[in-house]
């Protein structure tokens, strides 16, 4: 550099001042060390007149052509130190995918859906026009709480609501049942006298069909009833009919005609939400709701004390849920609920003793559900007039629990004798048969058989199931018979 400096000392045009050299060095050093070549379009500009110095300027601020030419001359002299702005590469345009076929397919599918919806609505409208009445739909109870959401699904547990929440959500599904019948009582002087008797129980709204509201209860709540009255949460009371019973499982279904219910009652009641009693664990909290002592609905709470307890009542043995929730007279047929407000049992039995407290039992809903479904599918019957009453033509007796154990007999009604020419004889019934079912209804006592037949008129054809001893073992035999009219001299 010193040689170059000396060489240019005598040349006024090409000589550099010390200031020029320093400026040149700074520019050269900046160029070599910088990683960025874009300086926002800047370039060297050489001012005119006076001492020659160099500085950074923005080319957009140039105002005359003379200055631009001087800048171009300087560019030629110091071409190796020029800073230029790189030109961006033109963007690469991605080829567009062709969706022609897909669009056509989607359009066709959309048109098909629209056509299907329109056709369905037209058919629905035509069907609705042909109906004379609108079907009434009773609300369904919903769980009192929703399950708690957890990131770990294996540890997620349902939220527990209060007893008050369960009661408020479920009481519209529970009804009070009053049973009025005639009871024969042995008099002090011999003979019998008939007295009108009234009992109370509970029921649970479990379903409905096009014309009826269906209520589940215990068989012993409605057995022997001449009239049945159902009272709802809004205190409205209507008459009900027995739709079906199962004495072996102590279950029954009664039906209420929807036309008897007002709009206010229909809006106040709900169909119970069924849970799964198989998921119960000992120690789980439960709530019992029922018509205790006939005073109206009451709520008690307790815990599952035991599961699968075998209890025998009136020659019938069942596997039940044991709970310490108070189950008093009148609670039979009422609801046992979990803390989500779901029905998990039908209250049925209480261990009554001065030495025992807090031992109530309920039929598990998992056991009751298929039986109730079958009972709800039956034809609803009303008691026939006495003049139309049916007649079998047999004498019979009950098979007691002691007799069953002693002689290994099945539960049912034992046929002592068969009247010649009677409906029973014509169907093939013989002495020694044990009647277990009448037209699909289980019977275990003579009273149950008589009460069931009270809903059938003479001339109707029914199927009966009997157990018959053959080769030392009892075999099931099905008999089809046409019911007779009751003779005037029949006892």
**Catalytic residue numbers?**
220, 250, 332
Burial category of 48 from C-beta neighbours within 10 Å (exposed 0-12, middle 13-18, buried 19 and up): exposed
- Of 241, 238, 221, nearest in space to 229 by CA: 238
Whole-angstrom distance, CA of residue 258 vs CA of residue 135: 9
Whole-angstrom distance, CA of residue 177 vs CA of residue 223: 12
- Are 255 and 212 in contact by the 8 Å Cβ rule? The answer is yes
Q: Which residues contact 9 (CB under 8 A, 6 or more apart)?
A: 15
Burial category of 374 from C-beta neighbours within 10 Å (exposed 0-12, middle 13-18, buried 19 and up): middle
Which position has the token pair 């007893």?
A: 163
Residue 365 φ/ψ, nearest 5 degrees:
-65, -30
Whole-angstrom distance, CA of residue 275 vs CA of residue 304: 15
Q: What angle do CA 255, 317, 399 make, to 5 degrees?
A: 90
Residue 40, token pair as written in the block? 């926002």
Q: Which uninterrupted H or E stretch holds 344? A: strand 343-350
Whole-angstrom distance, CA of residue 67 vs CA of residue 161: 88
What sections of 176-262 are H helices per DSSP? Answer: 219-222
* Distances 474 to 396, 456, 469 between C-alpha atoms, Å: 18, 28, 4
Burial category of 252 from C-beta neighbours within 10 Å (exposed 0-12, middle 13-18, buried 19 and up): buried
For residue 185, the tally of other CB atoms under 10 A from its CB is: 9
- Are 254 and 203 in contact by the 8 Å Cβ rule? The answer is yes
Q: What angle do CA 172, 176, 179 make, to 5 degrees?
A: 155
């Amino acid at each position: 550099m010193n040689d170059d400096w000396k060489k240019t000392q005598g040349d006024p045009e090409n000589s550099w001042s010390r200031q020029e050299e320093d400026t040149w060095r700074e520019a050269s050093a900046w160029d070599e060390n910088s990683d960025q070549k874009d300086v926002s379009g800047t370039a060297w500009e050489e001012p005119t007149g006076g001492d020659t110095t160099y500085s950074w300027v923005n080319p957009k601020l140039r105002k005359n052509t003379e200055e631009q030419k001087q800048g171009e001359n300087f560019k030629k002299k110091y071409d190796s130190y020029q800073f230029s702005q790189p030109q961006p590469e033109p963007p690469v345009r991605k080829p567009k995918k062709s969706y022609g076929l897909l669009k056509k397919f989607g359009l066709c599918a959309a048109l098909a859906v629209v056509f299907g919806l329109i056709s369905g609505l037209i058919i629905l409208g035509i069907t609705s026009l042909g109906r004379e009445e609108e079907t009434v739909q009773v609300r369904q109870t919903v769980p009192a709480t929703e399950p708690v959401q957890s990131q770990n699904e294996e540890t997620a547990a349902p939220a527990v609501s209060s007893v008050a929440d369960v009661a408020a959500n479920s009481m519209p599904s529970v009804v009070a049942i009053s049973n009025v019948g005639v009871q024969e009582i042995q008099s002090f002087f011999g003979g019998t006298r008939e007295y009108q008797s009234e009992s109370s129980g509970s029921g649970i709204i479990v379903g409905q069909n096009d014309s009826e509201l269906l209520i589940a209860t215990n068989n012993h709540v409605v057995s022997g009833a001449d009239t049945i009255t159902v009272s709802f949460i809004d205190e409205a009371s209507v008459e009900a009919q027995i739709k079906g019973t199962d004495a072996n499982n102590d279950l029954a279904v009664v039906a209420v005609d929807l036309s008897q219910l007002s709009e206010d009652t229909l809006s106040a009641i709900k169909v119970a939400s069924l849970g799964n009693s198989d998921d119960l664990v000992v120690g789980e909290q439960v709530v019992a709701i029922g018509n205790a002592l006939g005073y109206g609905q009451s709520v008690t709470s307790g815990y599952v004390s035991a599961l699968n307890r075998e209890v025998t009542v009136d020659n019938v043995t069942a596997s039940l849920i044991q709970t310490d929730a108070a189950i008093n007279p009148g609670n039979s047929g009422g609801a046992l609920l979990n803390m989500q407000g779901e029905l998990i049992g039908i209250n049925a039995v209480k261990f009554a003793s001065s030495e025992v407290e807090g031992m109530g039992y309920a039929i598990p809903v998992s056991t009751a559900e298929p039986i109730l479904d079958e009972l709800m599918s039956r034809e609803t019957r009303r008691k026939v007039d006495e003049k139309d009453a049916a007649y079998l033509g047999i004498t019979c007796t009950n098979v007691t629990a002691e007799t069953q154990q002693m002689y290994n007999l099945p539960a049912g009604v034992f046929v002592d004798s068969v009247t010649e020419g009677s409906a029973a004889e014509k169907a093939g019934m013989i002495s020694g048969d044990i009647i277990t079912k009448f037209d699909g209804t289980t019977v275990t006592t003579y009273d149950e058989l008589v009460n069931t037949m009270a809903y059938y008129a003479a001339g109707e054809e029914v199927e009966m199931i009997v157990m018959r001893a053959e080769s030392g073992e009892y075999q099931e035999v099905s008999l089809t018979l046409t019911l007779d009219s009751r003779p005037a001299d029949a006892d």
